[in-house]
Structure 1
Amino acid sequence: MHKKRIRNRIIWSVVAVLIVIAGWFSFGPTSTNTKDQKEVVVGVVGQTKQDAEIWKSVAETAKEDYGIKIKIKNFTDYNQPNKALQNGDIDLNAFQHYTFLNAWNKANHGSLVAIGNTYIAPIRLYSKKYKNINELPQGATIAVPNDASNESRALYVLKNAGLIKLRKGVKLATVADITSNPKGLKIKEVSAEQTARVIDDVDASIVNNTYAVPAKLGDKQTIYIEPLNKDSEQWINIIVANKKDKNNKIYKDLVKAYQTEKTKKLSEKLYGKTEIAAWGLKLK
């Protein structure tokens, strides 16, 4: 009788352990490979139809090859996505170049890092009044973006075009760094999203592709194109993450899903030469 009671106790103990284990797998912590944890929210700015098509293609590759679901969150201006990323409201963003990121980190004590190159988009000087850069008159008004990195880029465009000279050695140029301005150009600083909207009110405007495409500014209005050279690396657009996530495998796989021949060919089809794939790009 005594042995029978001991045997029953052992049986019930085993049953209790099995119940606990079953409950753990049913209600305990979820696996790190769950579908929800493989959804990645990517912030972009002023997404065009072309951009949407490219990200749709990237999302298909990410899902098929890596089991990642990409969700795009569209912002209206350049001031929003880095704050959202720093605060954890999104997982990654893809809208800026290296210089913009460095300037933002410095100004905001940020810790965001680039985890992959996307493309480089040579910016253009557009005009609806003149067909050639040499036609710009004395005292012409040129609109440029007013954020630190894009203003510097715009000023270097004017320098490369031979319209102004800048102080040597300066990396982040401002109008104060203009050392020569033979035509007496008036530099009108406006927010990046306004550069296309004010083009009718100025003689020419330097507009980022993000805003040039929806404004239907193209070859007809182009009077100068930014050259690509060894200094252009700082203008390469990037996918950005929080520093703590720079080695996140899921995010690295998302970058791989972007950096494909499929993406490159689609970009060429949609944008022609206005956007150039920047992974593996050799600049002279």
Structure 2
Amino acid sequence: MSKLVKRIIWIVVAIAIVCVGYFSFFHTSKSEANTIKVGIMSGSKQEDNIWKQVAKTAEDKYGLKVQFKRFSDYSQPNKALSSGDIDVNAFQNYPFLENWNKANKSDIVAVGDTVIEPMRIYSYKYKLVTEIPKNAKIAVPNDTNNESRALRTLQSAGLIKLNDTHQFASKKDIVSNPKNIKIDEVDASQTPRVLDDEAASVVNGNFAQSSSLNPKKAIYTAPFDKNSHQWVNFIAANKKDKDKKIIKDLVKAYQTEATKKEIKKQTGINQQAAWDLKFK
């Protein structure tokens, strides 16, 4: 083989290597630009199915590939978002985020409403709230955000009255308790499990669903009113990133009729699509 032929072969090989590297880099960069990392809670099969529908819409309509990172407790998703490990998360409501931003000096904002989960009072012993006797024990979630909401549900049901001057109500804010109800603070995930021992329990929609509690058998459901929007869950992002195209496309992919139908299919009345609800 002549030196000229060898030189031509090496030139061709070099060009091929450069081309492969270039197109590989271009493809990888484009793929990364169209990928969004979403932080969600490790939850039910129903919740996973809702997000599968969102991911399908995102890819079909916007060419957006959705990757999920699952977390086991509420303290993790906002930390991961602030550190840049994920692009957005979806698990919290407005009071939770406000409290988180203040406590952690973070700058996380809501970019699109998702669902609302009405809080309900369940009981294995009584069919009506009015049947709950004096000195009965009622379980509520023990975290600041959900306990406040649970106590307001008990107030709405007529069991207690609160001093409503504080953003987050606690047992100390109970100013009237005619039945001398004993408030038992337990982990939110345990509120369905203590029903055998308590007169009643105030349960979040997601934990009611994962415990197969029938919402139609709840003895009380907190109504929607002008103050209810604060309890809506949403997709959140760092403020500096809120206008990124991938984030806006994810929100648009979530807020569709296809997602709304999937929410109803998967959760029944435990959750409601919230982005076009009217709170009066």
For residues 258-277 of structure 1, what are the structure 2 equivalents within 5 Å? 258-277=254-273
Shift of 1:76: 2.0
User: Which residue is 1:99 aligned to?
Assistant: 95
Shift of 1:208: 1.1
Look up the equivalent residue of 2:53 and give its one-letter code.
S
User: Which residue is 2:48 aligned to?
Assistant: 52
User: Which residue is 1:136 aligned to?
Assistant: 132
Shift of 1:198: 2.3
When residues 237 and 277 of structure 1 are mapped into structure 2, their CA distance, relative to the original with a 3 A threshold, is same
More displaced 10-residue stretch of structure 1: 255-264 or 210-219: 210-219
Identity of aligned residues (%): 53
For residues 66-215 of structure 1, what are the structure 2 equivalents within 5 Å? 66-215=62-211
Count of residues in Structure 1 that have an aligned counterpart in Structure 2: 265
Structure 1: give runs of 5+ residues left out of the alignment.
1-18
Q: Is the 2:118–2:223 contact (alpha carbons within 8 Å) kept by the matching residues of 1? A: yes
User: Which residue is 1:222 aligned to?
Assistant: 218
Q: Is the 1:45–1:210 contact (alpha carbons within 8 Å) kept by the matching residues of 2? A: no
Once residues 262 and 116 of structure 1 are traced to their aligned partners in structure 2, the CA distance between those partners, rounded to angstroms, is 16
Structure 2: give runs of 5+ residues left out of the alignment.
1-14
Please list the CA deviations of residues 179-226 of structure 1 after superposition, one character each: whole Å capped at 9, or x if unmatched.
101111111112222222222222211111221111111136411101
Look up the equivalent residue of 2:236 and give its one-letter code.
V
Q: Is the 1:46–1:211 contact (alpha carbons within 8 Å) kept by the matching residues of 2? A: no
SS, match of residue 129 in structure 1 = coil
Please list the CA deviations of residues 84-128 of structure 1 after superposition, one character each: whole Å capped at 9, or x if unmatched.
222222221111111111111122222211100001111111112
Q: Is the 2:215–2:269 contact (alpha carbons within 8 Å) kept by the matching residues of 1? A: no
Higher alpha-carbon Rg: 1
Q: Is the 1:103–1:148 contact (alpha carbons within 8 Å) kept by the matching residues of 2? A: no
Shift of 1:42: 1.3
SS, match of residue 250 in structure 1 = helix
Shift of 1:27: 8.6
Once residues 124 and 74 of structure 1 are traced to their aligned partners in structure 2, the CA distance between those partners, rounded to angstroms, is 26
Q: Is the 1:130–1:136 contact (alpha carbons within 8 Å) kept by the matching residues of 2? A: yes
Look up the equivalent residue of 1:169 and give its one-letter code.
T
SS, match of residue 229 in structure 1 = coil
Once residues 51 and 121 of structure 2 are traced to their aligned partners in structure 1, the CA distance between those partners, rounded to angstroms, is 27
Q: Give the TM-score normalised by the residue count of structure 2.
A: 0.87
Look up the equivalent residue of 1:162 and give its one-letter code.
G
More displaced 10-residue stretch of structure 1: 178-187 or 35-44: 35-44
SS, match of residue 86 in structure 2 = coil
When residues 28 and 38 of structure 1 are mapped into structure 2, their CA distance, relative to the original with a 3 A threshold, is closer
Q: Is the 1:77–1:193 contact (alpha carbons within 8 Å) kept by the matching residues of 2? A: no
When residues 46 and 226 of structure 1 are mapped into structure 2, their CA distance, relative to the original with a 3 A threshold, is farther
Please list the CA deviations of residues 46-74 of structure 1 after superposition, one character each: whole Å capped at 9, or x if unmatched.
32111111111110110011111112222
Q: Is the 2:209–2:267 contact (alpha carbons within 8 Å) kept by the matching residues of 1? A: no
Q: CA RMSD in A?
A: 2.2
User: Which residue is 2:10 aligned to?
Assistant: none
Shift of 1:34: 1.1
Shift of 1:229: 0.6
Once residues 27 and 220 of structure 1 are traced to their aligned partners in structure 2, the CA distance between those partners, rounded to angstroms, is 57
For residues 240-279 of structure 1, what are the structure 2 equivalents within 5 Å? 240-279=236-275
When residues 59 and 227 of structure 1 are mapped into structure 2, their CA distance, relative to the original with a 3 A threshold, is same
More displaced 10-residue stretch of structure 1: 29-38 or 85-94: 29-38
Q: Is the 1:111–1:243 contact (alpha carbons within 8 Å) kept by the matching residues of 2? A: yes
